[in-house]
């Protein structure tokens, strides 16, 4: 099956995409001697403040036939280089090398970097950018300063993270007529089969039989029926990533305007991130104790669509008053969170394009973190810095809980006020996670997308953070 990923990127073959995500084989190797490298990318730090070669992001092509450098890219002062800027630099490299990828091998000289997590972040981001090229015949040699504590296993994990970021972005880019709930569920099953993971897909009949009323209610307006996916570890005390998988969001009967609808194929970015993270962990052999749960649904105003004022019953028995059908993400997540919490997992992290107010507060490139558990929130933010994902904390504002909680058994999906909606959205989600379970929420806002709805593309944000957080929480760091 082929489907277009984005204008200018040709078509993505589904089988090839899954194979690239799940296979431990890749086209990168560690080079041990820089002198032996062929055409190469050189990272250049400034020799002085006036040195144009080292300005961050400046890039220069081959100066002469005798020069060994295919491309020189400025990295700025090494001491000021962060994982986030390293990822940005990697994306730049991928973009600049797309037209040169017919070379047999391109070398990347990372020796100017000081070590730590930065080479891994750079390699992963570079791969993520490069994988958008339609010509992938080239191999890559990576030279690391021998004094740097960076080994083959770390290279493999970096590449796996890059592949996961690319895969998450590719799914998010996909037009919603081609990535329906059932198609994405099928992709999940294919990934599980390739990696030997447990995967349960609850179709509409099972959702009805088991009482997932929230997912069913939002899905009633679409001919493409909803489902719920669990993939990964079956251990009760696992770390669980719960992702929002609304493959298209029209707003339902609370209909969005035309401009607001144009980019709504990306409303499943949370589910894509959760799926890709679990796959990358499994590929590297450390998926024990981690699973992803995500509802897949379309929010359309069809004949059976849920109406403002309707009351639906979630998986845990909580009644949800649906006051705005365009606040559907928290409704479908309620069932997934209730299911995830039923096994008393070690921690639950939800990840979703949930509110516009997160973007209003933090801008289009920064995701919001709201954590009921202070320690988990601090850990999540620290991991995001190391992984290169831009995230910032918003408060877990219990003082606003009454805006969503009408009684011990009833909540509403709209706070009925205009302010603080990123906070009340997280509080709503927290109603479905038992209080003794560590819970944090990542509101992706607009950070999942760069550019306009037509020619822009997904960023793959949060994937690296979820991968590294899982490794820490499960003590499976390799």
Catalytic residues: 256, 330
For tokens 């669990």, the residue is 230
CA 182, CA 174: separation in Å to the nearest integer? 14
- Pairing mode, if any, of strands 347-352 and 438-443? parallel
With beta carbons less than 8 A apart as the criterion, state whether 144 and 68 touch.
Answer: no
Encoded tokens for 68? 């060994």
> Residue 104 burial by CB count (10 A; 0-12/13-18/19+): exposed, middle or buried?
exposed
Instruction: Please choose, from the candidates 224, 232, 182, 181, the residue with its C-alpha nearest in 3D space to the C-alpha of residue 343.
Output: 232
- Pairing mode, if any, of strands 457-458 and 391-393? unpaired
CA 179, CA 172: separation in Å to the nearest integer? 9
Q: What is the CA radius of gyration of the chain?
A: 22
CA 200, CA 342: separation in Å to the nearest integer? 16
- Pairing mode, if any, of strands 457-458 and 449-450? antiparallel
Give exposure, 12-47, as e/b (b: 16+ Cβ within 10 Å).
bebeebbebbbeeebebeebeebeebebbbbbbbbe
Q: How many helices (H) and strands (E) does the chain have?
A: 14, 23
Neighbours of 64 (CB within 10 A): 6
């Amino acid at each position: 099956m082929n489907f277009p990923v984005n204008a200018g990127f040709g078509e993505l073959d589904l089988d090839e995409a899954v194979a690239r995500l799940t296979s431990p084989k890749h086209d990168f190797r560690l080079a041990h001697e820089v002198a032996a490298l062929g055409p190469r990318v050189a990272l250049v730090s400034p020799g002085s403040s006036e040195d144009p070669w080292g300005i961050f992001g400046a890039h220069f092509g081959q100066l002469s036939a005798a020069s060994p450098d295919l491309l020189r890219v400025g990295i700025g002062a090494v001491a000021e280089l962060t994982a986030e800027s390293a990822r940005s630099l990697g994306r730049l490299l991928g973009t600049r090398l797309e037209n040169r990828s017919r070379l047999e091998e391109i070398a990347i000289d990372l020796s100017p970097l000081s070590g730590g997590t930065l080479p891994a972040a750079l390699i992963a981001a570079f791969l993520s950018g490069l994988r958008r090229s339609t010509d992938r015949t080239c191999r890559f040699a990576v030279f690391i300063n021998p004094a740097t504590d960076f080994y083959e296993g770390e290279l493999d994990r970096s590449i796996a993270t890059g592949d996961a970021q690319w895969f998450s972005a590719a799914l998010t880019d996909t037009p919603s007529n081609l990535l329906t709930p059932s198609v994405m569920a099928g992709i999940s099953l294919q990934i599980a089969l390739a990696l030997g993971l447990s995967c349960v897909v609850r179709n509409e009949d099972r959702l009805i039989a088991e009482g997932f009323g929230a997912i069913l209610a939002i899905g009633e307006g679409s001919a493409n029926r909803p489902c719920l996916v669990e993939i990964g570890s079956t251990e009760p005390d696992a770390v669980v990533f719960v992702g929002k998988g609304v493959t298209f969001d029209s707003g339902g009967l609370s209909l969005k305007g035309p401009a607001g609808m144009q980019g709504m194929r990306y409303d499943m970015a949370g589910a894509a991130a959760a799926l890709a993270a679990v796959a990358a962990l499994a590929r590297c052999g450390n998926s024990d104790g981690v699973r992803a749960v995500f509802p897949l649904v379309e929010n359309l105003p069809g004949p059976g669509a849920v109406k403002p004022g309707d009351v639906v019953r979630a998986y845990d028995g909580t009644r949800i008053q649906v006051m705005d059908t365009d606040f559907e993400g928290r409704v479908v997540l309620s069932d997934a969170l209730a299911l995830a919490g039923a096994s008393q997992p070690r921690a639950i992290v939800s990840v979703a394009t949930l509110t516009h107010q997160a973007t209003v507060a933090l801008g289009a490139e920064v995701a919001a973190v709201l954590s009921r558990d202070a320690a988990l929130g601090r850990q999540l933010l620290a991991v995001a810095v190391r992984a290169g994902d831009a995230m910032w904390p918003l408060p877990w504002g219990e003082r606003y809980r009454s805006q969503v909680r009408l009684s011990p058994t009833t909540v509403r999906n709209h706070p009925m006020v205009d302010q603080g909606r990123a906070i009340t959205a997280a509080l709503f989600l927290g109603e479905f996670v038992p209080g003794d379970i560590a819970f944090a929420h990542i509101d992706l806002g607009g950070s999942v997308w760069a550019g306009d709805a037509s020619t822009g593309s997904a960023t793959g944000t949060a994937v690296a953070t979820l991968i590294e957080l899982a490794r820490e929480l499960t003590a499976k760091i390799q």
